[in-house]
Every structure is written in structure tokens, then in C-alpha cells.
């Protein structure tokens, strides 16, 4: 898997420079993004980007569309395998409800359904697994959905440049003490508790999922502001949790205040924590850079723990016991 991660900047550049056509939309007042697992992580990222817009966005990680969808709703369905039963159910419902639909997968049942029912479909190649295909899908969608996004061409180009710079520091050929992803992987023990600010939730969710799938670790994530109203109390007794603080380079000033208070609390109670800071730049650059660095952390953590990051036997167990019929 690490060889594929080494190629992420190249994969991003190729995906964005592909011949995929720009899709045009009009009259859209609600966007629903549906996907599970690695496909759902793509939805998390685009939801964060679209939060900078004045259009309502709903994430669906399950079987059902919200009751508020109608003919002015754009439903974006993503299933890298093309066979995710929950997302296929959303796709069918969106068709019945006369929503605008754009579908993305590497083929499978999703392609079959879209072909049969004349639904706009974009085939995007899967590379090894949904996790490692993330960057190809992100940059393909950036091009196809560009009209809807509060990003400039320079923003997207900048994000690819950030990936290229980061790759030089954390790739699998750099096993020195300058590799910050290796350093963090060595500090992760017991159960990580990942704190994140508004706007960077997508990076925290992806980090959690990648640690679970790659390193086979239990993980907890908490919003920094919300945790100060409940979660912080749990630190009043000894814990095996290990705090990791994902902070934005330009967090809201009251969020920065909360980070200072939380760190002071940890220091006074002898609770060790680890800081992670986003890069400067636009929201896409921040998120894609964090996700890239933190995905590498999970690979290095798996390898150092003598765990195969590629296997997902438990997910396969669940899939093998599901009724895959598209009702």
C-alpha cells in the first residue's frame, strides 16, 4: 500500500487533468452526498468544502435519503466498488423521487443501474482499495463538480503542489527522523482520542477510519468545542486514552482560546498529548495535506506493529452476511 501512497501527488494530477467533462447544474438548492467507508470519506471532504457556500449540504452514510429532497436536490452517490448496498439504495430512491443525480464508481451494480435508468455516471478507476483510491476520486470529482465548489483553479493547483511537497517529507523512502508521520506513529499507544476543530472534521474522521482499517486500532474523535461541555470530565479518572490535537493554522479565535485551555488542563493533570497543525492555504489544501500525512501515520503504525494494513476481514464478514438485494 505504501507504494501507492507514494504516488498520491501524481494520481491527483492525473485525475484532475483527465478528459472528464464538467457537469453543469442549475436551480440546485440542496446537495446530498451519499457514500460509505472510503467513499464516505470523500463526502466528508466535499461537505467541508461546500460549507463555504450558501447551499444546504446533507451527508448520508446509510440507506435512506432525507425527507427534504426534491427535484431541486442534487444527489451525489459515490461507491468506489460500485456495489455498496447502502449507497445503491440511496441511488434508487433518488431516481424514484426525481432528484438530480450524479454517480461515481469503478463499475459494478452502480454502473449497471445508471446505464439502465439513464443516470449520469462517471467511471473512475479503483487503485488497490477504496482507501488508497481516495485521492483519484477527490480530484476527479473536483473537476466534474467544479461549478458547484467555492474553489478557484489556483486553489486546486495549490493543493496538488502541497501534496508534492509533503510527499518528499513523508514518503516510504524517507525513514529518517525528519519523517513526521513516522514520529507520530511511534507516539500512538493504547487508544487515540483525536480532537478536531470546526472545518477539519473530515481529516479527523479519515484519520479514525484509517487507523481502524490499517492499524486495526480502536479510536475516538471529539469536536474540541463540544468536548469542553462533556468529554473533558472523563479525564477526571485515569485513562488509557492518548490525546491527539488536530489544529487549523487559522482556527477561529475562540477555538484557539479553547485549544489553550485544553492544553493547560492536560499539562496541569500530567496528561501527555500530541499536536498536529494543518498547513496554510485554502480549505482543500489543509484537508488533503492532513489526510495524506495522517494516512501515512496509520501505515507506519501498522508496519511497526507487524500488522498487514491491507486486510479487512471483519468488513468482509459483514458484507458476506448482508442481503445484497437492491429493493
pLDDT digits (tens, 9 = 90+) for 7-42: 999 999 999 998 877 778 888 999 999 999 999 999
Name the nearest CA neighbour of 289 among 277, 301, 299: 277
Beta strands in 61-152, from DSSP E residues, in sequence order: 73-79, 100-105, 120-123
The alpha carbon of 79 is separated from its chain's Cα centroid by a whole number of angstroms, namely: 14
For the CA atoms of 36, 61, 160, 186, what is the dihedral angle to 10 degrees?
Answer: -70
Do 93 and 192 belong together in one domain?
Answer: no
Query: In the predicted model, what is the mean pLDDT of residues 242-253?
Result: 96
225 in a domain, yes or no?
yes
Domain containing 102 equals 2-150
Do 201 and 86 belong together in one domain?
Answer: no
Q: Taking 70 as the threshold, does the pLDDT of residue 203 lie above it? A: yes
Do 210 and 297 belong together in one domain?
Answer: yes
Q: Taking 50 as the threshold, does the pLDDT of residue 327 lie above it? A: no
Give the per-residue pLDDT at 321. 87
In Å, what is the CA distance from 271 to each residue of 44, 181, 185, 262, 288? 30, 22, 18, 11, 29
- Give the lowest-confidence range in 180-184, 284-288, 313-317: 313-317
pLDDT digits (tens, 9 = 90+) for 45-63: 999 999 988 899 999 999 9
In Å, what is the CA distance from 223 to each residue of 3, 35, 107, 194, 202? 33, 22, 36, 8, 11
Do 276 and 178 belong together in one domain?
Answer: yes
157 in a domain, yes or no?
no
Give the per-residue pLDDT at 61. 97
197, 252 in Cβ contact below 8 A?
A: yes
CATH number (domain holding residue 37): 3.40.50.10490
315 in a domain, yes or no?
no
Amino acid at each position: 500500500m505504501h507504494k501507492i501512497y507514494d504516488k498520491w501527488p501524481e494520481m491527483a494530477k492525473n485525475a484532475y487533468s483527465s478528459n472528464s467533462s464538467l457537469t453543469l447544474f442549475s436551480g440546485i438548492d440542496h446537495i446530498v452526498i451519499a457514500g460509505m467507508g472510503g467513499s464516505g470519506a470523500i463526502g466528508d471532504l466535499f461537505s467541508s468544502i461546500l460549507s463555504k457556500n450558501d447551499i444546504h449540504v446533507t451527508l448520508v452514510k446509510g440507506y435512506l435519503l432525507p425527507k427534504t429532497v426534491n427535484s431541486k436536490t442534487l444527489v451525489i452517490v459515490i461507491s468506489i466498488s460500485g456495489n455498496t448496498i447502502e449507497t445503491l439504495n440511496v441511488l434508487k430512491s433518488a431516481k424514484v423521487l426525481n432528484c438530480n443525480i450524479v454517480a461515481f464508481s469503478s463499475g459494478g451494480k452502480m454502473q449497471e443501474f445508471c446505464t439502465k435508468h439513464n443516470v449520469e455516471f462517471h467511471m473512475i478507476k479503483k487503485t488497490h482499495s477504496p482507501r488508497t483510491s481516495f485521492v483519484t476520486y477527490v480530484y476527479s470529482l473536483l473537476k466534474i463538480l467544479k461549478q458547484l465548489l467555492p474553489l478557484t483553479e489556483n486553489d486546486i493547483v495549490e493543493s496538488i503542489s502541497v501534496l508534492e511537497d509533503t510527499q518528499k517529507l513523508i514518503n516510504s523512502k524517507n525513514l529518517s527522523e525528519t519523517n513526521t508521520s513516522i514520529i507520530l506513529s511511534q507516539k500512538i499507544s493504547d487508544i487515540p482520542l483525536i480532537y478536531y476543530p470546526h472545518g477539519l472534521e473530515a481529516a479527523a474522521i479519515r484519520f479514525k477510519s484509517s487507523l481502524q482499517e490499517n492499524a486495526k486500532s480502536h479510536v475516538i474523535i471529539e469536536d474540541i468545542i463540544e468536548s469542553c461541555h462533556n468529554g473533558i470530565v472523563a479525564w477526571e479518572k485515569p485513562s488509557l486514552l492518548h490525546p491527539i490535537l488536530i489544529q487549523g493554522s487559522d482556527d477561529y479565535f475562540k477555538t484557539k482560546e479553547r485549544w489553550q485551555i485544553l492544553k493547560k488542563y492536560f499539562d496541569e493533570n500530567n496528561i501527555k498529548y500530541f499536536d498536529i497543525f494543518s498547513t496554510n492555504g485554502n480549505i482543500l489544501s489543509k484537508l488533503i495535506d492532513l489526510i495524506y500525512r495522517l494516512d501515512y501515520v496509520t501505515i507506519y503504525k501498522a508496519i511497526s506493529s507487524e500488522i498487514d494494513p491491507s486486510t479487512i476481514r471483519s468488513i468482509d464478514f459483514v458484507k458476506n452476511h448482508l442481503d445484497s438485494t437492491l429493493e
